[in-house]
Structure 1
């Protein structure tokens, strides 16, 4: 039987082109994460704002305008500027109030390439 010898001098590593491809892919995903992260944080903040309405005392007795003011004040405190009153719909029924939030985040990725993230959230507030 012939023994094959492993020659360490014949072993090859990444070429320069290989390293450039790996670095390019890494930088692409790092750039993507950098531009999307603020929008994800904003979405989480809006989820917290809407969920916090559940703990507001007497929320179902408040008018739509008063509920909007509560949401607006929380948005100001949390520095949410991209969402407007037009993105909300407040629906009152007998013992519940439902707040709907629907908006799109349009993120400029490159020259004429945009990433669009659609957001839909609703929270049902029950008399407490």
Structure 2
């Protein structure tokens, strides 16, 4: 004769429900915030590419902004506007180009997430 265990082993219905709610919450947050982070990573890549170009960009701030806008258009970045960029002279032939912006994403009900992004590169230009 086999002996029956004294207690049930394993996860009960309430445990399964709790895990399911946590998984759904995490997936919802990832789907809502993921595109914003992907746009920021694309912008970082664009800015780093402009900063690493071997040729200096002639024309100052306007020329650098034109190059950034062209690359943003090619990469279909719409979350960032031109007013998110600031330029500061960094020596005789260089500019500090800073991208700083906030993005608000609605998660659910009356809960929003505010994402703050900031990235600075040094671009050779005159």
- Which TM-score applies when normalising by structure 2? 0.86
What SS class does the counterpart of residue 115 from structure 2 fall into? strand
Q: How many angstroms apart in 1 are the aligned matches of 2:88 and 2:9? A: 67
Q: How many angstroms apart in 2 are the aligned matches of 1:68 and 1:19? A: 53
Alignment of 1:78-117 (within 5 A): 78-92=75-89, 93-117=91-115
Counterpart in the other structure of 1:21: 18
What SS class does the counterpart of residue 7 from structure 2 fall into? coil
Counterpart in the other structure of 1:3: none
What SS class does the counterpart of residue 80 from structure 1 fall into? coil
Cα RMSD (Å) of the superposition?
2.0
1:56-93 superposed Cα distances (whole Å, 9 cap, x missing partner): 3122x332111111000111111110111111112234
Alignment of 1:11-90 (within 5 A): 11-56=8-53, 57-59=55-57, 61-90=58-87
- Which TM-score applies when normalising by structure 1? 0.85
Aligned length: 122
Q: How many angstroms apart in 2 are the aligned matches of 1:66 and 1:94? A: 16
